[in-house]
């Protein structure tokens, strides 16, 4: 299944010069259009992209960027966690490539932090009760 996503990549100063986006094409067979690019006064790099490709490759590519230190924000669609349906099984935490899903040490509940979510939809795929949902703006 293929996906088309609009995302904003934030490169910290030490990564601005590295050709990380090139790996999306070379290693994950993704295509992208640059919508906007700029360097902030703090020398952080901002890159808005439209990315197309296989859904699994997209998730793997996002995982690669996140682990490399790039922060990713999704444009146009958001994931939400339906607390009424969630059974706190933790399956989604094990597949999430970002810190968006985590188990609270005290309560043992699964906490969703949308600020870290990159809408890769891995959690939607594995959730047995369909508690992770996608919403379009």
The closest of 82, 121, 123 to 102, measured between CA atoms, is 123
Which CB sits closer to ligand SF4, 65 or 132? 132
Cβ atoms of 65 and 75 closer than 8 Å:
no
Distance CA(21)–CA(28), nearest Å, equals 10
Query: Under the criterion CB under 6 A, does residue 120 sit at the interface with ligand SF4?
Result: yes
72 binds ligand SF4 (CB under 6 A): no
Site residue total, ligand SF4 (CB under 6 A) = 27
**Chain residues 99-118 in contact with ligand SF4, contact rule CB under 6 A:** 100-101, 110, 117-118
Backbone dihedral region of 39: left (phi > 0), alpha (psi from -120 to 50 degrees) or beta? beta
CB 48 within 8 A of CB 8: yes
For position 86 contacting ligand SF4 by CB under 6 A, the verdict is yes
Q: Is 20 in the site for ligand SF4 (CB under 6 A)?
A: no
Task: Give the separation between CA 82 and CA 25, rounded to whole angstroms.
Answer: 34
Residue 51 contacts ligand SF4 per CB under 6 A: no
When binding is defined by CB under 6 A, the residue of 23, 89, 105, 115 that contacts ligand SF4 is: 89
The contact set with ligand SF4 (CB under 6 A) reads 79, 81, 86-92, 95-96, 98, 100-101, 110, 117-123, 126-127, 129, 131-132
């Amino acid at each position: 299944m293929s996906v088309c996503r609009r995302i904003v990549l934030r490169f910290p100063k030490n990564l601005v010069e590295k050709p990380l986006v090139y790996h999306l094409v070379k290693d994950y067979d993704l295509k992208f259009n640059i919508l906007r690019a700029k360097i902030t006064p703090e020398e952080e790099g901002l890159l808005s992209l439209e990315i197309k490709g296989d859904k699994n490759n997209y998730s793997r590519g996002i995982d690669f960027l996140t682990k490399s230190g790039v922060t990713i924000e999704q444009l146009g669609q958001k994931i939400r966690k339906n607390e009424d349906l969630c059974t706190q099984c933790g399956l989604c935490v094990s597949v999430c490539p970002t810190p968006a899903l985590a188990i609270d040490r005290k309560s043992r509940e699964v906490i969703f932090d949308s600020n870290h979510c990159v809408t890769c939809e891995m959690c939607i795929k594995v959730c047995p009760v369909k508690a992770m949902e996608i919403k379009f703006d």
